[in-house]
Structure 1
Amino acid sequence: MSMHTRPQPPENQEQLLLRAQRISGSSLGELACLAKWTVPPDLKKDKGWVGLLLEYYLGARAGSKAEQDFADIGVELKTIPVDVKGQPLETTFVCYAPLTRNTGIIWENSHLRKKLAKVLWVPIEGERQIPLTQRRVGTPFFWSPNLDEDKALQQDWEELMERIIMGQINHISAHHGEVLQLRPKAKNSRILTAATGETGQPIMTLPRGFYLKKTFTAAILARYFLL
């Protein structure tokens, strides 16, 4: 393999999958070396590093995450760290939750549903004892929510959004929701955003993100790999 230059965005979903299959089996160290990227000592401060490296190889347009990673072809990229048994090691961040100007949003046109319409999942070895450079990229696959999954996501989303609109943002814990959870998503506790309080008054709070629970992503992986 010679030095790698960032490819143009993929023209279609087949081309994207082909690119992901091409780097499947490579270690993060090899990929970083070819791209002349520095590997961080760990992911504590660089949580998004693996995703960015893959975006580089797959030709994602860097930039605002308000749309899908590959908006032109309708695909969202999700890397997922797994253990030796293929079980996800953490929840999967999908998008930020709208804490203001959110009346009238319905599931059908929600940002979350758009993001999850079609996902390219790329499992990555994630066991702590494997040095970051030696962790390998797994087999990529496409997924779209089936009817049951869509219904489960909708149920949780509607319940969580209702609580947000009712001013109960600070009473929502990671335990709410069967497949989705809402939790703070900010680099530090000084980053605050506007929301609605219990009596409808404006308050400042930490930004919140929607995350897919591990049981949900484990079932997706199990179905694909027939675990």
Structure 2
Amino acid sequence: MTGDMTLFPPPKSEQALLERAQALAGCSMEELATRAGIAIPRDLRRDKGWVGMLLELWLGACAGSKAEPDFADLGVELKTIPIDGQGRPLETTFVCVAPLTGNTGVVWQTSHVRHKLSRVLWMPVEGDRAIPLAQRRIGSPILWSPTPEEEQLLQRDWEELMDFIVLGQIERITARHGEVLQLRPKAANSKALTKAIGEHGQPIMTLPRGFYLKKTFTAPLLARHFLL
């Protein structure tokens, strides 16, 4: 079975999607991979997107790598999130690639980040390195939209980071910028450069950047759900 096939047709409603996701809670990677007929990698170092791909197969996601949400008809984005034994996130969550040029007049309301995070199906997955990948289990899913407070935090960080990009300060941004949203390099290697704006408005080449949600954002979100 290849990564662009689905085991199930796309779900017709959010409720159907949530029920399908709830049915996976407690299943191990081995169980799901075996039933889907796909091989399990030894670890995720070279196959970072493997867990997400496996869940897409089971849930009937159809967007693949396209810019639209994973469940385009429902407007729902799928995000897997590795958690520790206490239900806390183990790493930051990739949202989308950041546009480094052509940003005149962009606003939060029509931004790609807001679009991606307007409705998310969070799938927690055991991420403890001590547990072999095959034995890691899926947690119970969360269908989420940002509260007004969460949206405010995201908007504030996004606007600050976009100001840096537009004003040619891209190289000054560190992972410490932003309270809940950060911008950092996203490239398989340091040769994959892309165009950006320099300090004097001149075109420069730099590493592609991605927006990531910090653990300070996802931890309270999970804690509310799991009542930690």
Q: Following superposition, which runs of at least 4 residues in structure 1 exceed 4 angstroms of deviation?
A: none
CA distance in 1, matches of 2:86, 2:172: 35
Question: What corresponds to 2:167 in structure 1?
Answer: 166
How big is the shift at 1:5? 6.3
CA distance in 2, matches of 1:140, 1:112: 21
**What is the Cα-based RMSD across aligned positions, in Å?**
1.1
**Residue type matched to 2:95 in 1?**
V
Corresponding residue SS for 1:71: coil
CA distance in 2, matches of 1:45, 1:6: 24
CA distance in 1, matches of 2:66, 2:172: 27
Corresponding residue SS for 1:209: strand
CA distance in 1, matches of 2:119, 2:133: 28
Corresponding residue SS for 2:190: coil
Matched, 1:184 2:155: no
CA distance in 1, matches of 2:111, 2:13: 24
Structure-1-length-normalised TM-score: 0.97
Q: How does 1:35-184 map to 2 (within 5 A)?
A: 35-184=36-185
Question: What corresponds to 1:25 in structure 2?
Answer: 26
How big is the shift at 1:147? 0.7
Contact 1:5 1:35 in 2 (8 A): no
How big is the shift at 1:63? 2.7
How big is the shift at 1:165? 0.4
How big is the shift at 1:141? 1.2
Q: Give CA-to-partner distance per residue, 1:148-178, whole Å, 9 cap, x none.
A: 1000000000000000000111110000000
Matched, 1:205 2:206: yes
CA distance in 2, matches of 1:62, 1:128: 29
How big is the shift at 1:62? 4.5
**5+ residue gaps, structure 1:** none
Aligned length: 224
- Identical columns (%): 65
Structure-2-length-normalised TM-score: 0.96
**Residue type matched to 1:37 in 2?**
I
